[in-house]
Amino acid sequence: MRDFTDDLRFAVLPQVGDGEQRSEFAGTMATHPLVHQELAYAPEYTLYNRRLTAVAMGAIPPDEAYWRLRRQAVLRHTGELPIEVRGPDAERLLDRVFTRDVSKVRVGRCSYQIACYADGGMILDGVLVRLAEDRFWYGQADGDLTHWLRAHAQDLDVEVTDPQVWISQVQGPDSLRVLAAAVDGAYPEPFRYFDAARVTIAGQEVVITRTGFTNELGWEVYLGPEIDAAAVGARLLEAGAPYGLTPVAIGGARRIEAGLLNAGADFDGSVTPFAAGLGAMVSVSKGDYVGKAALEGADRRCRTWGLRVAGGVARLGPVLWQAGAPAGRVCSSAWSPYQACGVAIVRLENPDLGPGTRLEVACRDGVTRDAEICALPMYDAERRIPRGDLVDIPERP
């Protein structure tokens, strides 16, 4: 039977005025407050955290978006869902759920955090922002952590809420120049990788972080319901005009090259952080947390790697073979304009296999091709680009 899911598309219309009746389904398919900036570029949307997020722009082909990201700067309105955890026991709750020590995250800093089930399988990942000693935002990937946090907070003095915050990101080598032009007054100093700061943009005080889902230099802005998002968005486009800044749909090749995993695609509840290649994000020295006992006894070998395919793009699914025997599945795939080959994130059946292993893979065009396992990230292994320690602007063919 034919799978029609790839044929589904969402049409997004401008939001109705305050005096008009909203659909009872509006809360399940919420749109970013700056969605109007995308409509001129023929966007296509998917559901992410019950929010619509652009996965393609008909007016900006994927290759063009890729090169703008690598060479200039891009603006992306994301579907990430910030959860607010607030109260005297906020840190205690988060330490009960996350695999890294939250007490080490200072006010004004961010931390990549993973939540696991009791058996060590990953629920989802995201970026934790410490706004105050007793207040955090957790920008979660696609999934549901709110109910999990509330379930583990029964005996604690803490609130877990949806602050109705949306995240937009400016990414690329010119991104900090856009920030300098966009802020009112002084540029935040210092503003290091994974720092958080409060700045004023277009008269609106907003939280910004030196984070992003690209492994390029970049930053993100958090837009709450009290913020005039339209004013902030207009200022960003104005500040970014000299750098060709427009809204784009990004992810795909650059995310894969960077080894940035997508919840639900590159891992699920059956995958431990070790199998996902995220063992460094698991602390065995901190106090007890959900999944710790299982992780202490888990196989620590990595099963998640990159894949390069000359001349084609791998299909998704269990389409990897070694000497005719099933070898694993392709989790994400795309064409890399920079490496001029297909790239993918794969999960192998045999944890003893790794970079340099030759496999066969079924490709989107129906051809089976030779491919090679590689490390992640595929380049910039020390992540010097997003840290600002390396300026690497590739030439466009």
* Secondary-structure breakdown of the chain: helix, strand, coil percentages, each rounded to the nearest 5: 20, 30, 45
* pTM exceeding 0.95: no
Three-state SS at 256:
helix
How close are the terminal C-alpha atoms of the chain, in Å?
41
- Same domain (yes/no): 338, 251: no
With beta carbons less than 8 A apart as the criterion, state whether 44 and 65 touch. no
Q: What is the pLDDT of residues 121-142, one digit of tens each?
A: 999 999 999 999 999 999 999 9
Q: What pLDDT tens digit does each residue of the chain (397 aa) get?
A: 344 444 555 555 545 444 455 566 666 789 999 999 999 999 999 999 999 999 999 999 999 999 999 999 999 999 999 999 999 999 999 999 999 999 999 999 999 999 999 999 999 999 999 999 999 999 999 999 999 999 999 999 999 999 999 999 999 999 999 999 999 999 999 999 999 999 999 999 999 999 999 999 999 999 999 999 999 999 999 999 999 999 999 778 999 999 999 999 999 999 999 999 999 999 989 999 999 999 999 999 999 999 999 999 999 999 999 999 999 999 999 999 999 999 999 999 999 999 999 999 999 999 999 999 999 999 999 999 999 999 999 999 8
What's the number of domains the chain is made of? 2
Q: How far is CA 367 from the centre of its chain?
A: 31
Question: Which single residue is written with the structure tokens 């058996």?
Answer: 119
Indicate which CATH number applies to the domain containing 370: 2.40.30.110
- Same domain (yes/no): 205, 293: yes
Ranges of H-type helices in the chain: 62-71, 90-97, 146-151, 175-182, 229-240, 252-258, 292-296, 384-387
- Same domain (yes/no): 338, 290: no
Domain boundary residue, one of 300, 315, 337: 300
Closest CA to 253 of 339, 320, 318: 339
- Same domain (yes/no): 130, 168: yes
Q: How crowded is the C-beta side of 196, counted as CA atoms within 13 Å?
A: 21
Q: pLDDT value at position 38? A: 97
- Same domain (yes/no): 166, 266: yes
**What are the residues whose beta carbons fall under 8 Å from the beta carbon of 201, sequence distance 6 or more?**
182, 183, 184, 221, 232, 235, 236
Q: pLDDT value at position 250? A: 77
> Can you say which residues are annotated as belonging to the binding site for substrate?
220
Q: What is the pLDDT of residues 140-162, one digit of tens each?
A: 999 999 999 999 999 999 999 99
> Can you say which residues are annotated as belonging to the binding site?
220
With beta carbons less than 8 A apart as the criterion, state whether 232 and 167 touch. no
Residue 305 belongs to what domain range?
301-382
Burial category of 109 from C-beta neighbours within 10 Å (exposed 0-12, middle 13-18, buried 19 and up): middle
- Same domain (yes/no): 18, 98: yes
- Same domain (yes/no): 246, 343: no
